[in-house]
Structure 1
Amino acid sequence: MMGGKGNSVFSLSPNPNHLCISMEDGSQSSEQLVVDDDDDDLPPIDDTPDLDIDLEEEEEEETRRDEKCFMAPPAPGMEFDSYDDAYSFYNSYARALGFAIRVKSSWTKRNSKEKRGAVLCCNCQGFKLLKDASSRRKDTRTGCQAMIRLRLIQFDRWKVDQVYLHHNHSFDPHRAHKKSSSAATKTTLPQPPLHVQVRTIRLYRTLSLHTPPTHPLFQSSRRLELRGGFRALQDFFFQIQLTSPNFLYLMDLADDGCLRNVFWIDARARAAYSHFGDLLLFDTTCLSNAYDLPLVAFVGINHHGDTILLGCGLVADQSFDTYVWLFRAWLTCMLGRPPQTFITQQCKAMRTAVSEVFPRAHHRLSLTHVLHNIFHSVVQLQDSDLFRMALNRVVYGCLKVEEFEIAWEEMIIRFGLTNNETIQHMFQDRELWAPVYLKDTFLAGALTFPLGNVAAPFIFSGYVHENTSLREFLEGYESFLDQKYTREALCDSESLKSIPELKTTHPYESQMAKVFTMQIFRRFQDEVSAMSSCFGVTQVHSNGSASSYVVKEREGEKVRDFEVIYETSAAAQVRCFCVCGGFSFNGYQCRHVLLLLSHNGLQEVPPQYILQRWRKDVKRLYVAEFGSGRVDIMNPDQWYEHLHRRAMQVVEQGMRSKEHCRAAWEAFKECANKVQFVTEKPS
């Protein structure tokens, strides 16, 4: 796994933005520095054949080679299993471009031989010493500044701390290989085999120890085919880092150094997840429908009931290994906080990966895609329209498990679909998608969410099509996000400034008009209006503080009974549960519970049933809270993260209005004056 984030990627900035802040034992002063600045003491570099990357070739040939095997440049935040792996990676990168490397310096813990850090530099770094001026050896030193700095962050994991990629000399592949061959004769370290030459740490590429290599979930690695789009992807990442603080991207490299999977996410998405982390949808429509673009998306639902993007990825395949890497990459970016509910499409490899990475989350299948797959499997059925109506009645109309299973069996027999494999598989997984089984699962309105055309990824509808190329996608990506953010801002403004029109005189409606966002209020308003079709509240059982009621509802010419459990605690707190599961599905109470609350004399909806995620008076600052808030005063990297986070919170507040902007500007000027006149204390 490799990654880069912030606008410090590929720079010598002293404050590179990292995925995680790691606290080390001791400060720089407690370490001893060992300088290895002599060519004769270089670690061995093997003479493995070149990776066939030639920067002097024509652009078309360069693009073709990029597609064949991309050798990723080093970047701050990359992590490795060991120092040898880190060295081998930089060495392979150097040979690919045509320069040699050496160890400029390294340091160990005082009174210990344990290596704690090192600087690897281009072999042309520095200049020849005066005492060597008369030497007959060819002078190859040019004062080149290209380098990487490595630090041991925990146990045996090593992290790239700083990177400088620019060279002040031309590349010489022949000399780089000659140097490698010469150094290889001085075997002071064991030589890593070719397959680990460019192996970065694979924190997210793990199979169970009990999974045999022949298991169907254990699939061979494939390369990510970008069809000439890698340059566009690289430029896109670099460009967005200039304007988006704490933008993060991760790349998954195969053992041969080729790009396999990519994941990226911005700071706003990471912050939004702190508000809407109760539900996460994973969309793989592009993969299941064989789009040209192997795009996947992590999607949430905001306070207006609209979709929000919580991360994107490009994947090489649909294997267990790929999904584990992708899910763990996402989870790491969210500081290890899994969602309450995770909704995916039906896929065996994906389901196993979810249980591996999100064992405590409620994994459910997308009902929209389940129904689509069932309809698609019976497209040749003569009575397909009648079947569609019958399926909808069974799925949405049954209130109890026994009722659903009996109705399902009758429907299958009626239409002669007993041997339909798709329907059999869907029924086996019914507890993951059928509403009658999901009443203990919070879905935030996703059960009845208007996903539209299931042949297109719903968050990218109208934007990503079957033949959309990577370059086209990236060119419109920021515009797409801007439209989403603008829509959310307009909905926020409408909710705060507009007074919704009431349809009834019921106090619940006027209460929620002051609390819910406009879009959620309109949905709740429909429930209040539907209370008029409910009647006949009857208590059928009582057991101390808990009572069972039946509420009748007229549906056309039929009348149905809905059982509602009503419970009061010693603190006079009310708890209600309806057999329809309305609160779990939508995040607000159903018409049956509302009628019972009114029947029992409650003039307002109890506060525990007014979720904060739907409230319009909550100030949601989309500034991610990275880390625990504790700052290691010995670590300058943490100073930057801490100060930047606090400053961005002020910026977000300042964007609310002209007055807020003026107040923030004055506060910044005051802070700048105070900091300017701080007197440094002697260390």
Structure 2
Amino acid sequence: MKDFGWSSDSDDVEILTSTNCPQGVYETIEDETVEDQCNVNVGDCVNLGDLDDNRVNVENGDGDGDGDGDGDGVNFISTSSSGVLEPFIGKEFDEVEDAQAFYKAEGFRRESLKQKERQIPETAETKIGCKATMCIKKDGDRWKVCKFVPEHNHELLTPRSTSMLRGHRGVTRVQKNLILTLNESGVPTRKIMSVLSKEAGGDFKIGCIGKDVEKFLGNKRRKLFEEGDAQRLYAYFLDRQCKEPGFVYSMQVDENGCMGSCFWADVRSRSAYQYFGDVVTFDATYLTNIYKMSFVPFSGVNHHHQTIMFGCALLVNETAESYVWLLRTWQEAILGRAPSTIITDDDKAMAKAIAEVLPNTTHRLCLWHILQKFPEHLAHLYNKFPDFQKEFHHCIHDTITADEFEEEWVTILVKYGLVGNDWLQNLYNRREKWVPVYLRTTFCAGMSTTQRSESMNKFFKDYVRSSTMVSDFVHQYEKALDARYFKEKEKDVRTKSSRPVLKTCWGIEEEAIKVYTRKSFSIFQAELFNCQRYKATKVQTEGESKMYEVAPKGNDKRIYYVSVDCRSSTAICTCHMFEFLGILCRHILCVFMKKSNLDCLPPNYVLERWTINAKSRAIREIPNYEGHVSNGEDQIMRKSHLMMQFYDIAELGSQSRFQMEHLSLALDKVHKVLLLMDTMGEQNLEAGDMSRNESPALRSQVISNFSQTLQDPQRVPTKGRPKSLRAKNPRETALVKKRRCSICKIEGHTKNNCPSLGDAGITTLHNMSQRVDLERET
């Protein structure tokens, strides 16, 4: 026979012993506790005494509650003087849950649902020895109270405060679904509690605390670890490939069956590369998963100048061999088309892999990463010469031609005694890979750094953290990718449904609106508008070629030269903006508008990648799955549709108690009908109909090529900094500026010990030291 007991004896949930429930009469049930049921905190109970009048006396545990029980806005009214609200021996319940709810509502809050043989862990709190308890046993189809002790021996809580007791706390099924949804979206526990509070109508009405949420998520995480993180990742890849034929992935497995590096790319990323894969940046980042595997995204820029993805990988290490495997796998996924330019940080392993796998690709180094090293290697110059940074910045960023850069570079080396600096010489030998004046002649889509990769890393870290498992990481990556492509669709709609304001009266501006996307047009419009501030003067003519000197009309004396070939209608400017970015500069536009008066854009100066129709070309080698639209039969879509309906119904039903009761009865009837349909197998029949409507490609199965279960990867150290340690910049460790005396204006001391004060200052200091000694003695 099954037997349940609720007790208030200690802080721990415990089974009733023979003193409370004789072994020969009652049996302890097997563990039927809810998964996340929490223990009750002792010492905080509701007093149900004073039952002779028709009101339950509620006392405040702090001693400052008033007698009418409205300190928390809660009153319990008894229907009779005999204490109908209080349990009594022989009282019957239909279900165990009814008995639990009844006992908790009255303040006898001790559930004893654990197995008898289970040992109670020793706690740091002292048991108070309260004997208040209620025990029920099964009698036919109903549950009957067999023992009830109402007396408490401790101070009591108000009814509102009992929601914080462990026995009263619990995460409901609806809350669990909401918690999982928020957690998958990267919402921390404190914000999850804020959402639950808003939905419940206040903190005291949630029914659980932050610790309960963390415990629930921790149990889920432990279950996932038991299933195998790597195996779940592999199952995700298989399922994704079944649903999306153009999805590709590759995984490495070591001799012990542990997962190694992995790469994956969806249809959207593979297709985007065919349109915008001329320039690629990739960089490794850390703290995105629990195994400290490096996250390496391949990124670029689309026709809206937004960062897009061309695939990504998780690497167990950052050796040249790992990067070689990654680049070759990526090349296979993008149909073997190599980018024209690739930008990375100054990593030797990356450089070696790129030279081996992509020999015909121009390799550029990230300018930002290199400039960050200058204060470290030249800290003495930064601290000693304030003008060094300004001069060096002008040499790197403001020089127009290679000759200007070479001249200023030599001048700086000689002026500051850096002629024999090996580190600077090494950078100078590779100047074509990072100095802007050399990069401008190569198309880089306006990128000179790995900022695109860094921005994607920051974007993804809003979805993942250092404790994220790889099986969860791919799901978060997919959500982050969806968010990026949603932003792209927003820009598409804005370009097609709005019209920018014109700033000039030239017809070429009107024509550019029809060609460029909104962001590209804004760049072109700014150049076209600013070209009016320049004056073009012909300085040289050689046959069909002409040279123009373009100078600003203001105080800026910087001069640009534009070479125009009248036969081919081409122009080259010394700023090389078109070669670097792909949009005409103001200097060429100044020459064109004042000498040729163009009304339309020359076709040879319009790059397709910046136009509205940049993605109109079909790619036959990759399945077009991006245009797939759900037919409304998806379970998530059905649930979302019903939730929207239920929300409106709940708003109406909550307006009055009569409407709420009417809605509750209707929902109970619908619930019973749905349960009946479920038992009849309606859902199975519906699923069978849906499977017959699916295409063969979506119903195809991929056979696993692993004969054994994948083991989780080993945690390995990375090249990057640890989470809590950071290599400080020399500027951070530089000496603090010396304090200046306000009397003599000399550095090195303050007015308290200024030598100009003479004996007066010494006497003052001497007296002060005496007072300090006296205070210590007393």
Please give the range of the TM-score, normalised by the shorter of the 2 chains: 0.5 to 0.7
Paired letter, 1:304? H
1:117-196 correspondence to structure 2 within 5 Å = none
2:426 is aligned to: 425
Q: 1:336 to 1:586 in 2, by over 3 A?
A: same
C-alpha offsets along residues 95-152 of structure 1, whole Å, 9 cap, x if unaligned? xxxxxxxxxxxxxxxxxxxxxxxxxxxxxxxxxxxxxxxxxxxxxxxxxxxxxxxxxx
Paired letter, 1:541? Q
C-alpha offsets along residues 425-475 of structure 1, whole Å, 9 cap, x if unaligned? 332211012121123311112138965978x83664645667766455334
Q: CA deviation at 1:400?
A: 1.3
Q: CA deviation at 1:523?
A: 1.5
C-alpha offsets along residues 569-593 of structure 1, whole Å, 9 cap, x if unaligned? 3xxx411111111002111110001
| 1:613 is aligned to 2:609 | yes
2:560 is aligned to: 562
2:505 is aligned to: 505
1:196-595 correspondence to structure 2 within 5 Å = 229-254=229-254, 258-286=258-286, 292-378=292-378, 381-382=382-383, 386-414=387-415, 422-447=423-448, 451=452, 457=457, 460=460, 462-463=462-463, 470=470, 473-535=473-535, 537-553=536-552, 557-569=555-567, 573-595=568-590
Q: 1:650 to 1:403 in 2, by over 3 A?
A: closer
Paired letter, 1:411? I
Q: 1:559 to 1:484 in 2, by over 3 A?
A: same
Give the conservation status (yes or no) of the 8 Å contact 1:341–1:443.
Answer: yes
C-alpha offsets along residues 134-171 of structure 1, whole Å, 9 cap, x if unaligned? xxxxxxxxxxxxxxxxxxxxxxxxxxxxxxxxxxxxxx
CA distance in structure 1 between the partners assigned to 2:543 and 2:508 by the alignment: 27
CA distance in structure 1 between the partners assigned to 2:478 and 2:320 by the alignment: 31
C-alpha offsets along residues 290-340 of structure 1, whole Å, 9 cap, x if unaligned? 993411111121110111110111112222222111111111111111111
CA distance in structure 1 between the partners assigned to 2:384 and 2:505 by the alignment: 46
Give the conservation status (yes or no) of the 8 Å contact 1:531–1:591.
Answer: yes
CA distance in structure 1 between the partners assigned to 2:293 and 2:415 by the alignment: 41
CA distance in structure 1 between the partners assigned to 2:385 and 2:305 by the alignment: 32
Aligned CA-pair RMSD? 3.6
Q: What secondary structure sits across from 1:486 in the alignment?
A: helix
Q: What secondary structure sits across from 2:557 in the alignment?
A: strand
Q: What secondary structure sits across from 2:368 in the alignment?
A: helix
Paired letter, 2:500? P
2:74 is aligned to: none
Aligned residues: 406
Q: 1:269 to 1:531 in 2, by over 3 A?
A: same
Give the conservation status (yes or no) of the 8 Å contact 1:280–1:342.
Answer: yes
Q: What secondary structure sits across from 1:604 in the alignment?
A: coil
Q: What secondary structure sits across from 1:275 in the alignment?
A: helix
Q: CA deviation at 1:616?
A: 1.1
Q: Give me the identity figure in percent.
A: 33
Paired letter, 1:406? E
Q: 1:439 to 1:553 in 2, by over 3 A?
A: same
Q: What secondary structure sits across from 1:369 in the alignment?
A: helix
CA distance in structure 2 between the partners assigned to 1:538 and 1:513 by the alignment: 29
- Which range is displaced more, 298-307 or 522-531? 522-531
Alignment equivalent of 2:595, drawn from 600, 610, 618:
600
Q: 1:366 to 1:459 in 2, by over 3 A?
A: farther
Paired letter, 2:602? P
Identify unmatched segments of 5+ residues in structure 2: 1-227, 633-692, 697-778
CA distance in structure 2 between the partners assigned to 1:541 and 1:339 by the alignment: 38
Q: What secondary structure sits across from 1:514 in the alignment?
A: helix
Give the conservation status (yes or no) of the 8 Å contact 1:457–1:464.
Answer: no
- Which range is displaced more, 276-285 or 240-249? 240-249
Q: What secondary structure sits across from 2:558 in the alignment?
A: strand
CA distance in structure 1 between the partners assigned to 2:508 and 2:268 by the alignment: 34
Paired letter, 1:263? F
TM (norm. structure 2) is 0.47
Q: CA deviation at 1:613?
A: 0.7
Q: 1:653 to 1:475 in 2, by over 3 A?
A: closer
1:98 is aligned to: none
CA distance in structure 1 between the partners assigned to 2:463 and 2:390 by the alignment: 31
Give the conservation status (yes or no) of the 8 Å contact 1:293–1:467.
Answer: no
C-alpha offsets along residues 345-373 of structure 1, whole Å, 9 cap, x if unaligned? 11223222212211212221122322233
Q: What secondary structure sits across from 1:281 in the alignment?
A: strand
Give the conservation status (yes or no) of the 8 Å contact 2:286–2:295.
Answer: yes
Q: What secondary structure sits across from 1:559 in the alignment?
A: coil
CA distance in structure 2 between the partners assigned to 1:460 and 1:423 by the alignment: 35
Q: 1:543 to 1:483 in 2, by over 3 A?
A: same
CA distance in structure 2 between the partners assigned to 1:471 and 1:417 by the alignment: 51
C-alpha offsets along residues 579-628 of structure 1, whole Å, 9 cap, x if unaligned? 1110021111100011111122123221111111111144547x75328x
Give the conservation status (yes or no) of the 8 Å contact 1:264–1:311.
Answer: yes
Q: 1:653 to 1:566 in 2, by over 3 A?
A: farther
1:84 is aligned to: none
Q: 1:530 to 1:391 in 2, by over 3 A?
A: farther
Identify unmatched segments of 5+ residues in structure 1: 1-227, 628-644, 656-671, 676-683
Q: What secondary structure sits across from 1:504 in the alignment?
A: coil
CA distance in structure 2 between the partners assigned to 1:307 and 1:246 by the alignment: 22
CA distance in structure 2 between the partners assigned to 1:419 and 1:472 by the alignment: 52
Paired letter, 1:402? D
Paired letter, 1:613? R
Paired letter, 1:538? T
Paired letter, 2:608? Q
Q: 1:479 to 1:452 in 2, by over 3 A?
A: closer
TM (norm. structure 1) is 0.54
Q: What secondary structure sits across from 2:601 in the alignment?
A: coil
Q: What secondary structure sits across from 1:447 in the alignment?
A: coil
CA distance in structure 2 between the partners assigned to 1:498 and 1:618 by the alignment: 18
Q: 1:615 to 1:376 in 2, by over 3 A?
A: farther
Q: What secondary structure sits across from 2:443 in the alignment?
A: coil
CA distance in structure 2 between the partners assigned to 1:316 and 1:240 by the alignment: 23
Paired letter, 2:260? R
Paired letter, 1:609? Y
CA distance in structure 2 between the partners assigned to 1:247 and 1:475 by the alignment: 14
Whose strand fraction is larger, Structure 1's or Structure 2's?
Answer: 1
CA distance in structure 1 between the partners assigned to 2:397 and 2:461 by the alignment: 25
CA distance in structure 2 between the partners assigned to 1:507 and 1:449 by the alignment: 37
Paired letter, 2:316? A
C-alpha offsets along residues 49-103 of structure 1, whole Å, 9 cap, x if unaligned? xxxxxxxxxxxxxxxxxxxxxxxxxxxxxxxxxxxxxxxxxxxxxxxxxxxxxxx
CA distance in structure 1 between the partners assigned to 2:421 and 2:315 by the alignment: 31
C-alpha offsets along residues 488-513 of structure 1, whole Å, 9 cap, x if unaligned? 00000001111011223333322212
Give the conservation status (yes or no) of the 8 Å contact 1:268–1:624.
Answer: no
Paired letter, 2:432? E
